[in-house]
Amino acid sequence: MSDSSTFDNNQTDDNSRIRELIDILNEASKAYYAEDHEIMSNFEYDKLYDELLALEEKTGTVYANSPSQKVGYEVVSELPKERHPSRMLSLDKTKEVDALVSWLGDKKGLLSWKMDGLTVVLTYENGELSKAVTRGNGEIGEVITANARTFVNIPGKISYKGRLVIRGEAIITYSEFERINATIADIDAKYKNPRNLCSGSVRQLNSRITAERNVRFYAFSMVDPEDAELMESFENSFTKRFETLTSLGFETVEYKPVTSATLPDMVKWFSDKIPSNDFPTDGLVLSFDDTAYGKSLGTTAKFPKDAIAFKWRDEEAETVLREIEWSPSRTGLINPVAIFDTVDLEGTEVSRASLHNISYVRDMQLGIGDKIRVYKANMIIPQLSVNLTKSGNFVIPDKCPACGGATEIRNDNGSETLNCNNPACPAKNIKLFSLFVSRNAMNIDGMSEATIERFIGAGIMHSLSDIYKLSEHKDVIVNMDGFGQRSYDKLIAAVDESRNADMAGFLYGLGIPGFGVANAKLVVKAYKSDFEAIMNANEEDLMEIEKVGEVLARDFVAYFKNETNVSEVRKLLEEVHFIIEENNREQDLEGFTFVITGSLETYPNRDALKKEIEDRGGKVAGSVSAKTSFLINNDIASNSSKNKKAKSLGVPIITEEDFNNNKFE
C-alpha cells in the first residue's frame, strides 16, 4: 500500500476481522488465565492467533489491545503541557431542528453523534502513534501518549507512513462505567457519570490504571494532511475522510449523510437510538460534506463555521410532588428523592428524581402537593426544572429511616446535608448484605447491591433475617420504581429457594472477618456439619484445622461470643434448613492437591470433577505450584502455561482417564 491513496473496502473488511479476532482471543485468554477455564483448545487459539498476525502484517494495522502487543506501562510525575498548532474552537449550538435546516441550506451535510467524553488529538508518524494530546482549553492540552496507547480500539500502527493528525473523543461506555462503579464500596466515592470517569482515566499519571478502564476512541475529524496526494484523494468530501479513517483501522463516530429535506427525520433517527446506546452523548454535530466550502466560511471569534452542534430540547412535563423519600447510604448521608405522579418523558415513565441535598430542597421551596415541572437532562437523568407552587412545607426527618437513630444536618462545602450518626446503621453495612446474598453464600438471585440499598433506605430491611420477611412488605416493593409484581415474584421465589441452604455457604455469608468459602468448608467438615458445635468452637480446636491460624480462630470465636451476632444467627436458623449431603466415600485422595485445566470428556464440567476430588478427601487449586500433586490435562503434550509450569516444578501431568483409573499414586 502506498503512503497516501490506496484505501479500499478490502482493508476496511480486514480491519473488522482484526478487531473480531482480538475480541475472541482476548476473551479466551481472560477465561484461561483469570477464570481458570478454557473456551477453546490450544490448537484453535493458535490458528486464530496466526490469522491475526497475518492480517496485521497485510494491513499494517496493529491495535493497542492486540494479543500480539505487549504494552509497556509508564508512570510519570506530571502530564506535560503542549500548545496546539492551531486553536481548537468549540462549536456553536442550537436546540432547534429548524435552525439546523436553515444552517445547512441547499448543501449536503453529515450528521453524527456528539460524544460525551474527552477530546484527544492523535499524531501518527511513519505509521506509528507518536503523540496524543488532550484538547485542554483549546489552546494548550496535556500530553497523554502513554495512556492513549492503552485505549482498547486505537491502532498503535497503521499502513499510512506519512504524518497524520486525527481528532476524536475518548469515552468510557455505560457498561464499563457500571462495572467500575460496582467495585467501589463507598457510594459517595462512586463516579458520577462516564464523562468524569473518562476524564480522570485519560489523564492518569500511571498508564496501567488507564488500561484497566477500557477507554475507547472514536475519530470525528482529520487535520488537513501535508501529503498532497492523500489530500487530493479526499475530493473535498468529509465522507471520504471518514472512509479513509475507517480503512486505516479507526472507529469513527456514527454518521449519516443528510440534506435539508432529510435532516428532521435523521435527527429523530438518532434520538430514537439513545436509550439503547452503550456510550454517552450530549447531542449531534452537523457538518458540511464539502470540506472546501466549509473551510471557505472561516470562523467567528468563538466558533468555526463549517459545523454546528445540536442539543435536544429537554422535554418537560408538569406533575404533582407526592412525597420526599429520604434514602440512607453507606456513608451515613441521607439523600432526598422526589416521588411524583408518573409522567412520560422521552418515551419512558418517570416518577422519581434526585433532590441532591437539603439546600436544594430549600432553594426549590418544595412541599408535598406542589405542582412541579420535570425533565430528563440530556434525555437520560430525571431532574426538577421548576416548582410552580413553592409551598415550602417539606419536613426534614429527625430519625434515620433505616435504623431510627437521630439525624444531623451538616454543612458540606456550602451545602446542607442530612446524616445518620449511628455506626450500626444497616445502611452502612450494605457490604454484609451483599455478601450474604452472593452466589457463594445464600445465592439469592435478583438481590443486587442497589436493590439492597433501596430496601434498607425504605426501612423494610434492618438485619439479615429481614431478607426472609420481605413478603410482609409486598405493597412497598411492588410500587417501587423499577419493580412491579413480576420482579417481586421472582425475588421472593429466589429468597424462598435459598431457605434450603448449604451450611458452608451460610457460614461464609455471615461475614466473619477473614473467613472465605474455603475456610468455611473446612470448618463445616471438621465439625461434621454440626452448626451448634461450630457456634461453640474454641480457638484451640479451630487452629487444628488446616489454613485456620491464630488470628482467624480468635475472630471466629469472638463473632459467636457477641450476643447481637448470636441473636441474629438464631433468627436466621429459624428461616433456613441445611442440606447435608452424606459422604460415605473412601477418603483415598486425602493429602493430594489437584489442578484441572483443559476440556473434559467424562465429566460435564470442572465443578463435577472438583466435587469428585473433594468428596474423596482431595483438594483442588486454581494454579500450579510446588504444593500441587497432579495437573489433570487431557492434552498432556500441549505447550499451555500450566503444562509448562508443571514440568518446570516436576509436577506430574495426568489425563482424565488416568485419574478415573487411579493411575496417579
Residue 44's CB: how many other CB atoms inside 10 A? 13
C-alpha cell read off for 354: 434526585
561 is catalytic: no
Are 14 and 255 in contact by the 8 Å Cβ rule? The answer is no
Interatomic CA distance for residues 573 and 266, integer angstroms: 60
Q: Which residue type, as a one-letter code, is found at position 81?
A: K
Q: Sort 639 into a burial class: Cβ within 10 Å, 0-12 / 13-18 / 19+.
A: exposed
CA trace torsion 580, 582, 585, 588 (10° rounding): 40
- Residue 131, beta-bridge partner list: 123
Report angle CA 197, 199, 201 to the nearest 5 degrees.
65
Catalytic residue from among 70, 93, 108, 114: 114
**Strand-strand pairing, 307-310 and 281-288:** antiparallel
DSSP secondary structure string, 361-426?
HHHHT--TT-EEEEEEETTTEEEEEEESS--------SB-TTT-PBEEEEEETTEEEEEE--TT-G
Read off the amino acid at residue 166.
I
Report the 10 Å Cβ neighbour count for 314.
16
| Nearest-angstrom CA–CA distance, 560 and 568 | 10
Rounded-to-integer distance, Cα 373 and Cα 213, Å: 37
Q: Which helix (H) or strand (E) holds 609?
A: helix 606-615
Burial 533-569 (b: 16+ CB within 10 A, else e): ebbebeeeebeebeebeeebbeebbebbeeeebeeeb
453 within 8 A of 186, measured Cβ to Cβ:
no
Q: In sequence order, which ranges of 108-227 are alpha helices (DSSP H)?
A: 145-148, 174-182, 194-202, 207-212
CA–CA distances in Å: residue 179 to residues 174, 182, 184, 516: 9, 5, 9, 23
C-beta of residue 346 within 8 angstroms of C-beta of residue 296: no
Bridge partners, 222 (sequence order): 166
d(CA 463, CA 456): 9
d(CA 264, CA 310): 12
For the chain, the maximum distance between any two Cα atoms, rounded to a whole number of angstroms, is 88
Q: Are residues 379 and 319 in contact, defined by beta-carbon separation less than 8 angstroms?
A: no
Identity (one letter) of the amino acid at 256?
Answer: K
How does DSSP classify residue 214? T
Which positions are annotated as active-site residues?
A: 114
